[in-house]
Amino acid sequence: MRYDFVDLTIDLGTRQVLRGEQLLDIQGLSFDLLAWLLRQKQRVVTPTELIEAVWAPAVVNDETVTQRVKLLRQALGDDSRQPRYLRTVRGRGYQLCAAAEVIAETGESPVPRPAHRRPRAWPAWLGAAVLVLAVIAWFALRTPVESVDSLGHGQAVPDEYSALMERAHHYASIGQRDDTLRAIDLFRQALALQPTSTAARLGLSFTSSAMMCAHNDGATRAEEAERLASAVLANEPDNARAFAARAYAADCRGLIEAAMADYARAIALDPVGRLDSLASLAHLQAIRGELALALAGNLRARASGHDLRLVDLQLSHNLELLGYPAAAERLLQRSYQLHPDSAFIAAAWPAFLFRQGRIEQARAALTQSVQRPQHPSLWLFAGELALLDGDRAAAAAAFARAESLKPGSGPAPSLRRIYAGSLDRDWATQRLQQLHEATAAGDRWPDNWLEIAQLQLALGQPAEALAALDQARQAGYRDRLALTQSPLWQDLRQQPGYSELLERIATAIATERERAREVPGLAELLAEGVH
Predicted pLDDT at 330: 96
- Tell me how crowded residue 247 is: count the other CB atoms within 10 A of its CB: 31
Neighbours of 433 (CB within 10 A): 11
Task: Determine the residue type at 205.
Answer: S
Q: Is the dihedral of CA 292, 293, 297, 298 positive or negative?
A: negative
Q: Would you state the pLDDT for residue 5?
A: 85
Angstrom CA distances, 490 to 120, 312, 428, 457, stand at: 22, 31, 20, 10
pLDDT at 51 (0 to 100): 83
- Number of neighbours of residue 180 by Cβ within 10 angstroms: 24
Per-residue model confidence (pLDDT) at position 517: 96
Q: Distance between CA atoms of 57 and 478, rounded to whole angstroms? A: 30
Q: Please, what sign has the CA dihedral across residues 224, 219, 401, 120?
A: negative
Bridging pattern class, strands 16-19 and 8-11? antiparallel
Query: Which segments of the chain have a pLDDT < 70?
Result: 56-60, 104-158, 216, 308, 408-409, 530-531
Q: Which long-range CB contacts under 8 A does 319-323 form with residues at least 24 apart?
A: 319/295, 319/525, 319/526, 320/352, 320/355, 320/481, 321/286, 321/291, 321/478, 321/479, 321/509, 321/512, 322/291, 322/292, 322/295, 322/509, 322/512, 322/513, 322/516, 323/509, 323/513
